[in-house]
Amino acid sequence: MIYEVQAFNKSPTEIRGRDIDSLLEEINRDIWHRVQLLAHTSITQRKTYAQTGDRPDRPGGLRKLIEDKTLDEYFEMQHKTFLEPLSLKAACPDISLFPAGSWSLQFKFTLRKPYISRDDTDFYILDNPVKKEKVFKVPYVAPSQWKGALRSAMVLELAKDCPLQPEDFAQRRFRMAVLFGDEKGEEPRSIKGLAKYLDEKGGEEASEIYRQLVKQCFNGEPNESLPHHRGCLHFYPTYFDQIGLEVINPHQRDTGAGKLPIYFECVPDGAEGTFTLLYVPLRGPEISHEDAKKHASQDLEVVAEGIRAMMTTYGFGAKTSSGFGVARDDSKETTVKPEEFQDIFKVAWQEELK
């Protein structure tokens, strides 16, 4: 059963502006409790006031909490009180616990454009809240988001390099399948989605070579459908401690003016986050240490180029086609394990920059 704080805090049928102001200043309530209670105004005429206030020069409601940095202070407290003591902000993984050929990397990045991503909450004062961690309510990027964004960036880079020889296209597609897992849309009796797109992009011959490579890798029978498998890459969440507001104001064609602005919560440009990734090879113990190291270094080079493209060109989160969710082209405090792979990551990153 989902606990809904609104159910235990019934609001009056008529809410006035000063009621909203009083709620925001109520120090006996947790700040996030106050934000949740603002959603009561969604069915009243004071919804806009609870979102942004009634004057551009005098912010109110949620906008006031954001511009006064009250929510930023709350997020910082959550980081210090819970995320750090509970070790939820992961350090660079220790690869000594994993098979030969494993590697991990971690670096800090700074947003060049705001990060937008739709939250899973059903009831909120804004229709477009930024995604927040379910328990501690801090803005974050989920591991599944990182996986989808990186795979998308690497697919777009592959498409950009076309046309390629069928063997080259199939090899690059196969490497992505090993890194990320089986492709979405690869079904026994129908091919759709990503699998269909790559089939059409590479051509029939490349598609046949790709499927043969996957079956050989996972000991599949020639006449069987492709096996389902997970990839070598394991992603970690990224937590932020800042929040902002973006506004889109669609203009009417007849007047050329906008009357109904749409507000989006975001993580603002300049905010810092930490990207963490672990690579564990799928190959068994029969492979030699030198071969495992060779394959791992090749995969690191490919992944580093993909991360660079995702961070600085294609972006992550929502509305990336409008330029949101991209980072600056300087990674900070980079750690790669084992240390001998550090230069591979740096060179691949710089090559992608050129």
Return d(Cα 354, Cα 350) in angstroms, integer. Answer: 7
For residue 22, pLDDT beyond 80: no
Within a 10 A sphere around the Cβ of 47, how many other Cβ atoms?
Answer: 18
Answer yes or no: do 291 and 198 share one domain.
Answer: no
Tens of pLDDT, residues 100-159 = 889 999 999 999 999 999 898 878 899 899 999 999 999 999 999 999 999 999 999 999
Final residue of a domain: which of 231, 258, 279? Answer: 231
Q: Which of 105-119, 268-282, 330-344 has the lowest mean pLDDT?
A: 330-344
Other C-beta atoms closer than 10 Å to the C-beta of 174 total 18
* 80 located within any domain: no
Residues 131, 162 within the same domain: no
Domain contains 353: yes
How large a percentage of the chain has pLDDT more than 70? 92
Rounded distance, CA 229 to CA 39, Å?
A: 42
pLDDT value at residue 1: 40
Q: Does 207 map to a domain?
A: yes
Question: Which candidate, 133, 265, 282, 301, places its Cα nearest to that of 218?
Answer: 282
Examine residue 173 and state whether it is found in any structural domain, yes or no: yes
Cα–Cα distance, 286 to 2 (Å, whole number): 49
Does 251 map to a domain? yes
pLDDT of residue 107: 94
Judge if 353 and 275 occupy the same domain.
yes
Residues 158, 172: contact at Cβ < 8 Å? yes
Residue 253: CB atoms within 10 A of its CB come to 6
Q: Per-residue pLDDT tens for 225-245?
A: 888 888 999 999 999 999 999
Which residues share a beta bridge with 104?
Answer: 278, 337
154 plus 103 within the same structural domain:
no
Instruction: Give pLDDT, residue 288.
Output: 72
Query: Distance between CA 345 and CA 289 in Å, rounded?
Result: 20
Pair 212, 296 in one domain:
no
Are 112 and 154 within one domain? no
Alpha-carbon separation of residue 212 from 37, 223, 226 (angstroms): 56, 10, 9
Place of tokens 């109520």: 26
Cα 74 to Cα 79, 140, 208, 241, distances in angstroms: 9, 14, 54, 8
281-327 pLDDT tens trace: 987 656 777 888 888 999 999 999 999 999 999 999 999 999 999 99
Is the domain of 136 the same as that of 148?
Answer: no
CB 265 within 8 A of CB 245: yes
Residue 322 is encoded by which pair of tokens? 């409008």
Helix 204-217 × helix 166-180 angle, to 10°: 40
Asked whether residue 22 is assigned to any structural domain, the reply reads: yes
Angle at the Cα of 157 from the Cα atoms of 152 and 162, rounded to 5 degrees: 125
Domains held by the chain: number:
3
Say what the pLDDT of residue 331 is.
76
Q: What is the pLDDT of residue 12?
A: 54
Q: What CA–CA distance (Å, rounded) separates 266 from 317? A: 10
Confidence class of residue 256 from pLDDT cuts 50, 70 and 90?
low
Round the CA-based radius of gyration of the chain to a whole number and report it. 24
Print the domain residue range for 54: 1-68
Give the DSSP per-residue string, 291-319.
HHHHHHHHHHHHHHHHHHHIIIII-SSS-
Q: In this structure, is residue 85 part of a structural domain? A: no
Flag whether pLDDT at 352 surpasses 60.
no
Residue 148 lies in a domain: yes
Paired tokens of 328: 């600056």
Distance from C-alpha of 230 to C-alpha of 282, rounded to nearest angstrom: 9
User: Strand ranges (DSSP E) for 102-191?
Assistant: 103-110, 140-141
Same domain, 327 and 259: yes
Decide: 281 and 288 in contact? Cβ < 8 Å: no
* Tokens linked to 338: 């084992």
**E-assigned strand segments in the chain:** 103-110, 140-141, 233-235, 238-239, 244-248, 262-266, 272-279, 332-337
In this prediction, residue 308 carries a pLDDT of 93
pLDDT score of 59 more than 80: yes
